[in-house]
């Protein structure tokens, strides 16, 4: 009996994936649990395992950055070698039927005919490209690869303007055109969608950091685990969320989801884009535990080894660009969360202390909030408590039961 291997949904947000490489070949015999392929999702690289034993009879051809829909058939175990992979995938058959119907409709009007250009080679799967007759003729006469051009016409059809713009680009020796990674594509789609659909408002506060600097210095003098400013900021954010449970929520499909656990996401910059691993139950964890967990998650993120449960969910995100000398910025909310705190660098400058001007250290934090779920006063209270905890950080140490006496 033929066994289908499907493109798995490895995270709640995943709709497509890219097969980086097959680890088996047609004709290989596999057992349940054997790794078949490495799949790049919108967040990380994951492994797909065989669910049963048998002989690999079919593997889907993989092309560079080819997006494959979730639940599509990507391999067959114990299949009929005389059949094609498409014969096992009802989704592909449905797509073919829809394309035939579309072709019959479009053929009624020759002036609006979408020419389907099929290009194949030994390394690439067949691709269907929508283009106008002018574009088809131009690409043939000038040897232009239409797979490099993104169409701006209906349904992504390549029109005259697109090929003219592309011609201008390739004539400029200073321009290098590359295909964005899967993560970069997802970031582009989500940030655009979020910025357009989520009504952001912003609140900024400036915090005196001298006491926090001294606390960190004392902790690191007495502890084998070195604590970063980011560890302290994560703990302070969790404590502020605990004081303001009405901010621990999301707006999902027109309804407000309020959470009991306080899970803090942290923005980690990768070469391919951005990912937000999560410190779960951060309000209940000590600084040593948070610090150890952050280091582990960052390492796994850079190795594309994060599990879905390690980067999905979260109540709020902290994005810290202080290490790059950025003093202040506004971040885009990471849906379905309702807020994100953008943290800048710690600066030394003149400050007022009971009317006396002295040198001190300050840091600016900007809260971006979703106005559908949070009102200004509610969000302001969260940011104010976050500020007060950082300015009186001894309570952070008191709430970290894994800290040594200092």
285: nearest Cα among 242, 318, 246? 242
Sequence-distant (≥ 6) Cβ neighbours of residue 140 within 8 angstroms:
none
In this structure, is the dihedral angle defined by the CA atoms of residues 382, 386, 389 and 391, taken in order, positive or negative? negative
Neighbour-count burial for 284-308, b at 16+ CB within 10 Å, e otherwise: ebbbbbbbebbeebbebbeebebeb
- Distance separating alpha carbons of residues 83 and 60, to the nearest angstrom: 13
Output the six-digit token pair for 269.
Answer: 């910059």
- Strands 274-275 and 316-320 come out as unpaired
Neighbour-count burial for 355-368, b at 16+ CB within 10 Å, e otherwise: eeeeebbbbbbbbb
Q: How many other CB atoms sit within 10 Å of the CB of residue 395?
A: 13
Output the six-digit token pair for 115.
Answer: 């020419």
- Distance separating alpha carbons of residues 200 and 188, to the nearest angstrom: 18
SS3 334: coil
- Distance separating alpha carbons of residues 97 and 117, to the nearest angstrom: 18
- Distance separating alpha carbons of residues 147 and 63, to the nearest angstrom: 12
Terminal C-alpha separation, the chain: 67
Which residue out of 58, 257, 361, 371 is catalytically annotated? 371
Distances (CA, A) of 232 to 168, 363, 388, 400, 401: 51, 13, 13, 10, 14
- Distance separating alpha carbons of residues 113 and 399, to the nearest angstrom: 68
**Cα angle at 371 between 328 and 264, to 5 degrees?**
60
What are the DSSP E strand ranges found in 126-209? 127-131, 200-208
* 182 phi/psi in degrees, rounded to 5: -60, -40
**Quick check: is 371 catalytic?**
yes
Q: Tokens 């993120």 belong to which residue? A: 301
Residues with catalytic function = 371
């Amino acid at each position: 009996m033929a066994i289908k291997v499907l493109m798995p949904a490895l995270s709640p947000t995943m709709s497509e994936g890219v097969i980086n490489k097959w680890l088996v070949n047609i004709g290989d015999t596999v057992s349940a649990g054997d790794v078949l392929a490495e799949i790049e999702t919108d967040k990380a690289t994951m492994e797909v395992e065989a669910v049963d034993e048998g002989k690999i009879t079919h593997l889907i051809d993989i092309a560079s950055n080819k997006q494959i829909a979730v639940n599509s058939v990507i391999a067959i175990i114990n299949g009929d070698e005389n059949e094609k992979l498409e014969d096992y995938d009802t989704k592909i058959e449905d797509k073919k039927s829809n394309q035939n119907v579309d072709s019959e409709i479009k053929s009624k009007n020759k002036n609006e005919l979408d020419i389907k250009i099929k290009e194949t080679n030994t390394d690439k799967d067949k691709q269907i490209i929508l283009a106008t007759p002018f574009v088809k003729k131009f690409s043939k006469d000038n040897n232009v690869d239409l797979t490099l051009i993104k169409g701006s016409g209906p349904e992504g059809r390549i029109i005259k303007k697109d090929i003219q713009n592309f011609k201008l680009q390739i004539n400029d020796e200073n321009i290098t055109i590359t295909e964005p990674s899967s993560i970069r594509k997802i970031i582009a789609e989500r940030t655009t969608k979020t910025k357009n659909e989520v009504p952001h408002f912003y609140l900024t506060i400036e915090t005196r950091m001298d006491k926090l600097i001294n606390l960190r210095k004392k902790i690191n003098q007495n502890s084998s685990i070195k604590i970063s400013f980011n560890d302290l900021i994560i703990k302070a954010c969790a404590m502020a969320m605990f004081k303001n449970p009405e901010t621990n929520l999301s707006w999902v499909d027109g309804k407000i989801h309020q959470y009991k656990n306080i899970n803090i996401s942290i923005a980690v910059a990768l070469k391919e884009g951005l990912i937000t691993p999560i410190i779960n139950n951060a309000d209940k964890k000590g600084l040593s535990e948070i610090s150890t967990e952050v280091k582990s998650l960052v390492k796994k993120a850079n190795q594309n080894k994060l599990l879905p449960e390690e980067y999905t969910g979260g109540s709020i995100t902290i994005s810290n660009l202080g290490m790059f000398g950025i003093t202040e910025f506004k971040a885009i909310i990471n849906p379905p969360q309702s807020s994100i705190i953008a943290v800048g660098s710690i600066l030394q400058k003149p400050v007022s202390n009971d009317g006396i001007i002295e040198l001190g250290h300050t840091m600016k934090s900007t809260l971006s909030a979703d106005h559908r779920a949070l009102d200004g006063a509610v969000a302001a209270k969260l940011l104010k408590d976050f500020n007060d905890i950082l300015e009186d950080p001894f309570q952070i140490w008191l709430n970290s039961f894994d800290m040594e006496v200092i």
